Homo-oligomer: A and B are copies of this chain.
Amino acid sequence: MRKAKVYIALLHYPMYNKRMDTITTSVTNLDLHDISRVARTYDVERFFVVHPSPGQHRLVEEIVSYWQQGFGGSYNPDRKEAFSRLQIADNLGEVLAVIEDETGLQPDTVATDARVYPNTVSYKRMKDEIHNSARPFLILFGTGWGMEKGLMDSCTYVLEPIEGDAGYNHLSVRSAVSIIIDRLLGGRWFE
């Protein structure tokens, strides 16, 4: 039984593009579906979709309301259940404030990146930390070509790349979230 409450945030700013310019990325419909379903499966408290633009907030609200109140909700109640974990936020500060409000504690932040950083930790250690700590954890996922360095440096932990030896670090964020959450929060199938 896990002690820590775990939250996920999918960030769209500040991200790099392939030329390492800082950009804002657009919301991708299937990110919302796939990550909400992962959040429900692995009992993640909340999946925050973080975007600075009100227009993108309206797009997310429209998609979610179809699966909550619209035809989608009655046709597929499993999707409705998954989307109940999704919450929109303007920026990371707002997410941290919501978690602190809810738990009375500042969360430790865990970033994920295909690159290696000095404060990189292993999945094994992170899984143990999460299972034994009473502190809340917020796991951050980037879009585009990854999170800006300043944001990475501000995190409590940075997870090691998923398959460091593969010679190819270009999984979709949907795959990365699925694999990382399975490693950190999944049952101990390997024992």
Which residues of A does B touch, CB under 8 Å? 18, 30, 33-34, 37-38, 40-43, 76, 78-79, 81-82, 122-124, 127, 162-166, 168-172, 174-175, 177-179, 182-183, 186-191
**Taking the nearest CB of chain B, how far is it from the CB of A181, in angstroms?**
9
CB-CB under 8 A from A183, the residues of chain B are 182, 189-190
- In the complex with contacts A42-B163, A163-B186, A172-B174 CB distance below 8 A: yes
Cα separation A164 to B189 with both chains bound (whole Å): 11
**Taking the nearest CB of chain B, how far is it from the CB of A175, in angstroms?**
4
- In the complex with contacts A178-B175, A178-B178, A190-B190 CB distance below 8 A: yes
CB–CB B189/A124 < 8 A: yes
Cα separation A182 to B175 with both chains bound (whole Å): 10
Which single member of B81, B123, B166 contacts A189 (CB below 8 Å)? B123
CB–CB A78/B168 < 8 A: yes
CB-CB under 8 A from A178, the residues of chain B are 171, 174-175, 178-179
CB–CB A187/B172 < 8 A: no
CB–CB A37/B175 < 8 A: yes
Cα separation A33 to B30 with both chains bound (whole Å): 12
- In the complex with contacts A162-B182, A189-B124, A37-B172 CB distance below 8 A: yes
